[in-house]
Amino acid sequence: MTLFLRTLTLCAAIGAADFAVAAELSLAANTTGKNVNFIREQLDIFEKETGHRVSLVTMPPSSSEQFSQYRLWLAAGNTDVDVYQTDVIWAPQLADQFVDLTEATKDVVGDYFPTIIASQTVNGRLVAMPMFTDAPALYYRKDLLEKYGKAPPKTWDELAATAKEIQEKERAAGQADIWGYVFQGNAYEGLTCNALEWIKSSGGGQIVEPDGTISVNNEKAAAAVERIKEWIGAISPQGVLAYQEEESRGVWQTGNAVFMRNWPYAYALGNGDDSAVKGKFEVMPLPTATGGEEPSSTLGGWNLSVSKYSDEQEAAIALVKFLTSKGVQKQRALQLSQLPTIAALYDDAEIAAAQPFMPSWKPIFQSAVPRPSAVTKVKYNEVSSKFWSAVHNTLSGDGTAAENLELLEVELTELKGDSW
């Protein structure tokens, strides 16, 4: 196709009315894995086809740090950032600062999973378009499990036993740096995700229930956190208390972990040419306490929102539609192994060939457990930070889980007041 024809096609596809005037846009996105490299390549295509220019504002990989920065910028009415990459949990907290995309996306919104669209709709306003969804996996070293005749674990205790045995035997065989299990234990949003999984998969509820009840102070939840505490320094390095996604992936990808809890983005990277574990691992759903409980992945995902302070809203919306389009989501799935938010892509043969786990991950993310962001609304960030602090304190040996969860219940009750 000539550039002219392709431009016309793109304009039609993204419903943009007038590209006579080129806009200067800026997009804030995080540096997890190859996210910004991928986005930059897509922006080059968008620029060529629309005449707009887009600069990238790179953000730290930590969701919590990103949130703090965005909140400051938005509170100050910052006009420098037009489009924000947003975490799935932020919609209720930042809704007032973002443009309603309902009208602009009505031609395509039916292609997206309705539950994800609903999660980004606040008081009838669609404040973010889904770019990819997320549900974590247990990554395991297929080669090592086979070498020691072990089955992939279904329960947390099986995971611990297998991790310990393989760690000990591999160390004895000269792999001095190998650990049994790495996860995200830093005091930030990622620990909220991990700990919600331990607790929910042990029958301990989901911190705050969908009806607003604060449920976290219970024996099953306490036992679930204590179980992991036992692992620190034994099958998980002490340093795991400072790990986020990228640090755990670093240990895993150099071949120094038997198991890892991480999101799907680590799949493509782990199979990259520079990875020591290329072709040596598989993914499976996370374990549960007895093997009989419901699956327990925390629902994650990232979206794009247009700032209401942007003075280029029309072009910014066109950019959001482009980066969340089926074509770009397909490329994201092929290159970064991130889960599409468009149902049809789960039947795509090219994606299934490139990322064999992906078709089977559709039911897993669909039954994933949401964090209590919808019910706690603008207070979610405080709920989460109090929760991850209670868990981090416990894992660090500062109080027992029972003590820390009791205290947490008091704090959350006060934070809730009469209602969320």
Contacts with ligand GLC by CB under 6 A lie at 63, 87-88, 134, 189-190, 193, 245, 263, 300-302
Of 181 and 183, nearer to ligand GLC (C-beta) is 183
Cβ neighbours of residue 315 under 8 Å, at least 6 residues apart?
16, 23, 25, 50, 52, 82
Nearest residue to ligand GLC by CB is: 300
CB atoms within 10 A of CB 29: 23
The CB-of-193 to ligand GLC minimum distance in angstroms stands at 5
Handedness of CA 227, 233, 237, 241 (dihedral sign): positive
Nearest-approach distance from CB 355 to ligand GLC, in angstroms: 17
What residues does 140 pair with on adjacent strands?
A: 259, 282
SS3 280: coil
Rounded to whole angstroms, how far apart are CA atoms 26 and 299? 28
Instruction: Specify the residue, 23 or 342, whose C-beta has the smaller distance to ligand GLC.
Output: 342
Strands (DSSP E) contained in 43-128 are 53-59, 83-87, 121-122, 125-126
Which is closer to ligand GLC, CB of 236 or CB of 248? Answer: 248
What is the closest distance, in whole angstroms, from the C-beta atom of residue 61 to ligand GLC in the complex?
A: 8
Q: What is the DSSP letter of 242?
A: G
**Cβ closest to ligand GLC, residue 162 vs residue 376:** 376
Q: How far apart are CB 190 and ligand GLC at their closest, in Å? A: 3
Q: Are 29 and 82 in contact (CB under 8 A)?
A: no
Least separation in angstroms between residue 32's CB and ligand GLC is 6
| CB closer to ligand GLC, 15 vs 239 | 239
- Of the pair 50, 389, the CB lying nearest ligand GLC is at 389
Shortest distance (Å) from residue 63 CB to ligand GLC: 4
The CA–CA distances, whole Å, from 41 to 38, 54, 107, 325, 328 equal 5, 11, 25, 15, 10
In terms of CB distance, is 132 or 181 closer to ligand GLC? 132
Min CB(60)–ligand GLC separation in Å: 11
25 half-sphere exposure, CB direction, 13 A CA radius: 29
As a whole number of angstroms, the distance between CA 154 and CA 163 comes to 13
Report the nearest approach of ligand GLC to the CB of residue 188 (Å): 7
| 245 or 348: CB nearest ligand GLC | 245
DSSP label at residue 151: P
> Of 134 and 197, which CB lies nearer to ligand GLC in the complex structure?
134
Q: How far is the CB of 297 from ligand GLC (least distance, A)?
A: 11
Q: How far is CA 188 from CA 236, 338, 375, in A?
A: 18, 22, 20
- The DSSP string of 14-54 is HT----SS--EEEEEEE-STTHHHHHHHHHHHHHHHH--EE
